[in-house]
Structure 1
């Protein structure tokens, strides 16, 4: 009988504690990365997997050709122009082989290196 009473009391306490835990995160600022930040991170990963054999960029060192953000912005006035080029020509060994999301992410990563 004591075991049943103890178990019942334990369950009741857990229920009360759960009810008291009013964790309303809508009042707190979101700590989730914005889509731009998430895209940049994914772009960084994709760059390392798909582009590093030929290019290096920013802090990522790899292939023979270092991408210069100033040159990227001089050669491509709009991000859409850069996207079109990268989608049609890269990776050089298999142009057009990445998904639209992967091209979006890597172009956002490259474009955001402006400065």
Structure 2
């Protein structure tokens, strides 16, 4: 049973990542945060509510979550907590891989806020 659950979660994560792939950049909307957007978002504290705003501006192209709807992949908090046992694991993944169009382009504070937002959803 654990093996089936593990394989299912792996398939879900692979599907989520492939949905946001940049195989053909000419068809992708320009969603790389500009320096002005990054400066604007950097001033926000690393709270879950600030994370919702940052999520709306930086992640919505590919994802929707909670009450925020947008991209092809809806993030589910139960699946997030099943895949990532600790908030630090989620932070590590998100900060290295997201946003897909510009991984690592947000500030530490922005990643903290987005991870707090995602982690606190129930």
Report TM bin, short chain: 0.5 to 0.7
Q: What secondary structure is seen at the aligned counterpart in 1 of 2:74?
A: strand
Task: Note the aligned Cα RMSD (angstroms).
Answer: 1.3
- Structure 1, unaligned stretches of length 5 or more? 1-36
TM-score, structure 1 as length reference: 0.66
Q: Which residue of 2 aligns with 1:86?
A: 94
The gaps in structure 2 that reach 5 residues or longer are 1-44
The aligned residue for residue 63 of structure 1 is 71
Deviation at 1:41, TM superposition (A): 1.2
Question: How many residue pairs end up in the alignment?
Answer: 78
Give 1:40 shift. 1.1
Large movers: runs of 4+ above 3 Å: none
CA contact (8 A) 2:46 2:116 kept: no
Q: Which has the higher contact order (CA 8 A, sep 6+)?
A: 2
Deviations 1:9-48 (A, max 9, x none): xxxxxxxxxxxxxxxxxxxxxxxxxxxx970111000000
Larger radius of gyration: 1
Partner residue of 1:46? 54
